[in-house]
């Protein structure tokens, strides 16, 4: 397994911590799987690969330095004489509500073929599949209680061990949300290659949320400032969600900021912070470059 945490991209939203949590863990299922199928190399192959790997790492290092992205030497997959096969990406993305996280998740999924995972989807799937942790989660959900971290971590761990995640890699969307969850993931040996954080000022987030409107007929979402409908009939029937008010948005942002810095602190060595106020295509370009820099 890559030593503690690779320089990665994860989009999370506001947490505070003074120290980064960087645990030592055992090799993951992904790395065991790749090691099993690595092919032996000859002395000539090893020399050629070493030369190529050196050039790659030099180029990658220059790129990362120019963009203030830290790429640790342990995060490189190019070991002299080793296999050139890449491990599937293991990514985390974090960002506040309306930071553009959903849009970037779709782009990342399309580009890298990873399995996009949110805790809500994983919980519902575990309950439907009647797994052991799914049954535990259902008991809490049916009684109207919050599902405790240990159960959620169990659900996440089970999901990441499924064949599609092992073969294609994964993208955790907005999880972990608290430093306790980040530590629990690490304790289970679950590490990421890149932690991506979408940074957007609260004032911009509030504007994005408050201006959102939904067409009850088509379900399409518009924004009264950035993307209003051209059709007057559609404009007249648009509805605003009850929680898309400034007061309720500020409450959600307070909860987000209460934890985000601490969560980011758990992934200092693999974190990439991206300016989420730019156009989506510009944001995705920075994200892709950062991911590619650590997945060589």
Which residues belong to the active site?
101, 177, 212, 241, 252
**Is the separation of the CB atoms in 188 and 157 below 8 Å?**
yes
Locate tokens 């067409």: which residue? 215
90-95/271-275 β-pairing: unpaired
User: Before 176, cis peptide (omega within 30)?
Assistant: yes
* Opening angle at CA 41, ends 38 and 45, nearest 5: 130
Provide the 10 A C-beta neighbour count for residue 12: 33
The DSSP symbol for 269 reads: G
The DSSP symbol for 74 reads: G
Q: How remote is the C-alpha of 97 from its chain's centroid?
A: 14
Q: What 3-state DSSP class applies to 72?
A: coil
| Beta strands across the sheet bearing 170-173 | 115-117, 170-173, 90-95, 194-199, 271-275
CA dihedral 29, 35, 37, 42 (to 10 degrees): 170
């Amino acid at each position: 397994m890559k030593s503690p945490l690779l320089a990665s991209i994860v989009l999370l939203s506001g947490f505070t911590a003074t120290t980064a949590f960087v645990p030592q863990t055992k090799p993951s299922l992904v790395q065991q799987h790749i090691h099993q199928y690595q092919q032996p190399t000859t002395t000539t192959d090893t020399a050629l690969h070493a030369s190529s790997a050196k050039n790659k790492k030099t180029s990658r290092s220059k790129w990362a330095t120019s963009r203030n992205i830290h790429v640790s030497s342990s995060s490189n997959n190019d070991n002299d004489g080793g296999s050139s096969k890449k491990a599937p990406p293991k990514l985390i993305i974090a960002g506040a509500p309306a930071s553009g996280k959903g849009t970037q998740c779709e782009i990342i999924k399309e580009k890298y073929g990873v399995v996009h995972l949110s805790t809500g989807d994983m919980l519902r799937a575990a309950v439907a599949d009647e797994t052991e942790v799914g049954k535990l989660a259902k008991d809490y959900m049916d009684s109207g209680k919050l599902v405790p971290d240990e159960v959620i971590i169990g659900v996440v761990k089970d999901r990441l061990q499924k064949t599609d995640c092992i073969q294609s890699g994964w993208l955790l969307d907005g999880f972990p949300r608290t430093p306790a969850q980040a530590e629990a993931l690490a304790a289970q040996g679950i590490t990421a290659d890149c932690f991506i954080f979408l940074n957007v000022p609260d004032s911009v987030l509030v504007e994005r949320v408050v201006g959102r409107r939904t067409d009850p007929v088509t379900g399409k979402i518009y924004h009264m400032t950035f993307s209003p409908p051209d059709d007057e009939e559609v404009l007249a029937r648009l509805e605003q969600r009850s929680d898309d008010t400034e007061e309720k948005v500020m409450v959600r942002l307070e909860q987000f900021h209460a934890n985000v810095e601490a969560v980011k602190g758990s992934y200092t060595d693999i974190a990439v912070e991206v300016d989420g106020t730019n156009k989506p295509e510009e944001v995705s370009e920075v994200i892709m470059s950062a991911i590619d820099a650590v997945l060589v």
